[in-house]
Amino acid sequence: MGLTGSRGSSVPQDEPRNEVVIAGRYRLGKRLGRGGMGTVWQASDELLGRSVAVKELHVGEGKRAAGALREARTVAQIKHPHVVVVHDVVEDDGRPYIVMELVEGGSLADRLTADGPLDAGETARVGLALLGALGAAHERGVLHRDVKPANVLMEAGTGRVVLTDFGIARLAGSTTISDTGAFVGSPEYTSPERMQGADAGPASDLWSLGALLCAALTGESPFHRDSLGGVLHAVVHDEIRPPAQAGPLTPLVRGLLERDPGRRLGVAEARRMLSAYVTTGSLPLLGDAPGPHRPAAPAPVAPAPAGYTPTERATAHTGPAPKPRAGLRVGLVAALVLAAVIGSVAVTSFLSDRTDADAEGRPAAQGERTAPSPGAAATGPQSPVVSAPGAAATATATATVTAPAPPPQPGRAAPAGYRTVADPDGFALAVPLGFQRTTDDQRVFYVSADGAFRIGIKVRPASPGGPIAAMRRSDADGPSTNPGYRDHSVVPTTHDGLPAALWEFTWNGFTAAEGARHTYDLCWDENGRMYDVWVSAPVGRLAQARAHFDTALDSFVPGA
pLDDT, tens digit (0-9, with 9 covering 90-100), for 217-261: 999 999 999 888 889 989 988 888 889 899 889 999 999 999 999
Closest listed residue to residue 221, CA positions, set 191, 265, 196: 191
Lowest mean pLDDT of 73-87, 156-170, 214-228, 509-523, name the range.
156-170
**Do the Cβ atoms of 207 and 264 come closer than 8 Å?**
yes
Dmax of the chain from CA atoms?
90
For the chain, what is the mean pLDDT? 73
182 pLDDT tier (thresholds 50, 70, 90): very low
Backbone angles phi, psi at 235, to 5 degrees: -65, -40
**Do the Cβ atoms of 109 and 133 come closer than 8 Å?**
no
Closest listed residue to residue 518, CA positions, set 157, 263, 176: 263
517 pLDDT tier (thresholds 50, 70, 90): very high
Q: What percentage of the chain's residues is helix, strand, coil (to nearest 5)?
A: 25, 25, 50
pLDDT tens digits for range 458-516: 999 998 899 999 999 999 999 988 889 998 888 888 888 888 999 999 999 877 777 89
Q: What single-letter amino acid sits at 122?
A: E
pLDDT for 1 equals: 37
C-alpha to C-alpha distance for 499 and 493, rounded to whole angstroms = 6
pLDDT for 379 equals: 35
Q: What is the mean pLDDT of residues 352-373?
A: 30
pLDDT for 536 equals: 92
Buried b (16+ CB within 10 A) or exposed e, 317-347: bebeebbbbbbbbbbbbbbbeeeeebbbbbb
pLDDT for 38 equals: 75
Does the annotation mark 146 as catalytic? yes
C-alpha to C-alpha distance for 424 and 429, rounded to whole angstroms = 12
**Do the Cβ atoms of 90 and 112 come closer than 8 Å?**
no
C-alpha to C-alpha distance for 558 and 425, rounded to whole angstroms = 10
pLDDT for 62 equals: 56
Angle at 536 between CA 531 and CA 538, to 5 degrees: 175
CATH architecture of 356-399+407-555: 3-Layer(aba) Sandwich (3.40)
Buried b (16+ CB within 10 A) or exposed e, 465-475: ebbbbbbbbbb
36-42 LR contacts (CB < 8 Å, sep 24+): 36/182, 37/165, 37/167, 37/168, 38/98, 38/167, 40/1, 40/2, 40/3, 40/4, 40/5, 41/17, 42/5, 42/7, 42/102
Q: List C-alpha distances in Å: 66 to 25, 58, 124, 181.
A: 21, 12, 38, 19
Q: Is the pLDDT of residue 455 over 90?
A: yes
Highest mean pLDDT among 48-62, 283-297, 407-421, 514-528 belongs to 514-528
Q: List C-alpha distances in Å: 462 to 40, 458, 466, 472.
A: 58, 12, 7, 15
Q: Which of 45, 93, 110, 146 is catalytic?
A: 146
What is the fold, at CATH topology level, of the domain defined by 1-213? Transferase(Phosphotransferase); domain 1 (1.10.510)
Could you tell me the residue ranges of all domains in the chain? 1-213, 356-399+407-555
Q: Is the pLDDT of residue 275 over 80?
A: yes
Percent pLDDT > 70 in the chain is 68
Alpha helices (H) along 219-262? 228-237, 250-256
Q: Is the pLDDT of residue 109 over 90?
A: yes
pLDDT for 15 equals: 54
C-alpha to C-alpha distance for 465 and 370, rounded to whole angstroms = 32
**Do the Cβ atoms of 334 and 233 come closer than 8 Å?**
no
Closest listed residue to residue 82, CA positions, set 120, 115, 125, 39: 125
3-state secondary structure labels for all residues of 357-370: HHHCCCCCCCCCCC
pLDDT for 59 equals: 65
- The more confidently predicted of residues 439 and 336 is 439
Percent pLDDT > 90 in the chain is 34
pLDDT for 39 equals: 85
Q: What is the mean pLDDT of residues 319-342?
A: 33
pLDDT for 432 equals: 93
DSSP assignment of 344-361, as one string?
Answer: P-----TTTT--HHHHTT
